[in-house]
Amino acid sequence: MEPPFSIRAVRELKDVCEWVYTKAEFPEDAELPNGVKPYEQMRDWLPWIVEVMDFLDGDGAIRHLKYPGSYSEQPYFDMCVFRIIRNRWNELRNQEIKAIGKSKG
């Protein structure tokens, strides 16, 4: 089953996750060479990312749900967004851990 939004929106969300993870900062009028306005994307997606971070445990697993009920009773759109954020965040964290391991020898 596909997420209920475009491939472009998924890419934007993953980019914003990376910018948040790396603490990137952009002025309000910034525009990347491909026409992307990162400040606007951050404004749109940051509340979702912050919310997901509240639900994750130290291992990167979702331990709390937004609404009462089971995982399967959560809104489909929300869970798709949460899954994208969680997966990208864990991917970035794993890359960081591997890089630290390689630098230590």
Range 56-65 average pLDDT: 80
Range 13-41 average pLDDT: 91
| pLDDT at residue 1 in the model | 44
The contacts found for 2-5 with CB under 8 angstroms, 24 or more apart, are 3/80, 3/81, 3/84, 4/76, 4/77, 4/80, 5/77, 5/80
Residue 105 has pLDDT above 70, yes or no: no
Range 31-48 average pLDDT: 90
pTM over 0.85: no
Q: What are the boundaries of each domain within the chain?
A: 7-103
Rounded CA gap, 43 and 10, in Å?
15
CA nearest neighbour of 6 among 66, 81, 71: 81
Confidence label for 4 from pLDDT (cuts 50, 70 and 90): low
CA nearest neighbour of 44 among 20, 67, 64: 20
